[in-house]
Amino acid sequence: MPLLRAAARRLAIFIGTVVVASIVIFLIVQALPGDVAQTTLGMGATADAVAALRERWGLDQPLAVRYGQWLVGMLHGDFGSSYITGASVVSQMAPRLAVTGWLVGFSVPLSLLVAWPLGLVAAMFRRRWPGAVVNALSHIGLAIPVFFVGTVATIIFAVNLGWFPANGYVTLGTSVSRWASHLVLPVASIVVVQACFLARYVRAGFIDVLTEDYYRTARAVGWTRWRGLVRHGTRNMATSLVTVVGVQIASLLVGAILVEQVFVLPGLGTMLIQAVQARDLVVVQDVVMLLVFAVLLLNFVIDMVYMAIDPRLARGGRG
């Protein structure tokens, strides 16, 4: 079974990549110069106090031992506890994961939904003004940082028009309508930027379709250009789009972290930024590891789905 063997190989590479990534993250946080205990206590602290704190946090043990403890702990669902508050990181992460999850979960399908017609129009009229307009728009959209989009959206729709709250978050359990209204502007900000990015790939995909034999055949039997592109093109364009979405997931997370700051949403990004400001190394290390793991896992899953769709990949591999 070459397919099975290829899948096993991908799985091994995935696990290896995750382990190496965890080592990189651990080393950056733990091995770079900068004594957390000293920083936390301030420069005036006595050497004894610093040593005591280091011992309490386990910083006096060798790096390899600390890495092993961290890794084994995570495998058991124990992400350690915050240096600052002492609370377990998992218990802090859970409610925040939901906020970021909603943000990303709504943004991905919606940006695809916006990018699809934009790319279609851009491909169809690529030599006339609608194509040029969409092209220019997607160029400009790529140049505008997501936090600026969010800020402008707040100024217009929250401060001036008062349609949506300017910031904050309400859980789904508290009030569905208020939960939704707090998510509209953050999600819309991410979608604007992501859709501009994706539209260029949709456009390129549809332009490829225009040169294909099956499209010519469809036209020859009397299909309109719209029908030919929409019916045949979308499916063909979608396969290449899946990889783009995979690559894009990292930038989507970055967008989510920034947007959380704009709208003061209590998500993972906010947790991360607060932890950096407080130099809460355990929290930083855990959250970054979780995000990197999510990105790697998603790419792995996409690889597998791809292989299932197109068995040729199992033989050659695409790296």
Partner 1 sequence: MKRLTVIVGLVCSGLVVLAALVSLVWTPYNPRRVDPGHKYAPLSWTHLLGTDMQGMDTLSRLLVGAQTTLVVGVLAVAIAAIVGVPLGIFVGMGHRFVGEVVARGMDILFALPALLLAILLAAATGASVGTATIAIGVSTIPIFVRMTRAATLTIMNQDYILAAQVSGTPTPVIAVRHVLPNIAPLLGVQAAASFSMAILAEAGLSYLGLSAPPTTPTWGRMLKDANIFIAPTQAVIPGIAIAVAVLGFNMLGDGLRDYLDPRLKEVR
Minimum CB separation of residue 33 from partner 1 in Å reads: 7
Using alpha carbons, select from 289, 290, 275, 287 the residue that is nearest to residue 83. Answer: 275
For partner 1, which stretch binds (CB under 8 A), given 27-35, 42-50, 91-99, 215-223? Answer: 27-35
- Is the CB of 69 or the CB of 261 nearer to partner 1? 261
SS3 of residue 62 by DSSP = coil
- Is the CB of 219 or the CB of 279 nearer to partner 1? 279
> What is residue 154's DSSP assignment?
I
Q: Which of 21, 51, 98, 110 binds partner 1 (CB under 8 A)?
A: 21
Compute the distance between CA of residue 191 and CA of residue 114 in angstroms, rounded to an integer.
8
Compute the distance between CA of residue 79 and CA of residue 84 in angstroms, rounded to an integer.
15
3 binds partner 1 (CB under 8 A): no
Whether the CB-CB separation of 142 and 197 falls below 8 Å is answered with yes
Tokens 């063909």, located at residue: 236
Contacting partner 1 within 231-260 (CB under 8 A): 247, 250-251, 253-254, 257-258
> What is residue 88's DSSP assignment?
B
Binding mask 175-214 for partner 1 (x = CB under 8 A): ----------------------------------------
Binding mask 264-303 for partner 1 (x = CB under 8 A): --------xx-xxx-xxx--xx--x--xx--xx--x----
SS3 of residue 280 by DSSP = coil
Long-range CB pairs of 123-130, under 8 A, 24+ apart, other chains included: 123/202, 123/203, 123/204, 123/205, 123/206, 123/207, 123/209, 123/210, 123/229, 124/206, 124/225, 124/226, 124/229, 126/203, 126/207
- What single-letter amino acid sits at 244? V
Binding mask 38-77 for partner 1 (x = CB under 8 A): ----------------------------------------
CA 118 vs. chain centroid, Å, equals 22
Q: Which of 12, 87, 155, 242 binds partner 1 (CB under 8 A)?
A: 155
Q: Which of 1, 2, 4, 32 binds partner 1 (CB under 8 A)?
A: 32
Q: Which of 6, 25, 196, 241 binds partner 1 (CB under 8 A)?
A: 25
Minimum CB separation of residue 220 from partner 1 in Å reads: 27
SS3 of residue 81 by DSSP = strand
Chain residues binding partner 1 by CB under 8 A are 13, 16-17, 20-21, 24-25, 28-30, 32-34, 132, 139-140, 142-148, 151-152, 154-155, 159, 166, 247, 250-251, 253-254, 257-258, 261, 272-273, 275-277, 279-281, 284-285, 288, 291-292, 295-296, 299, 319
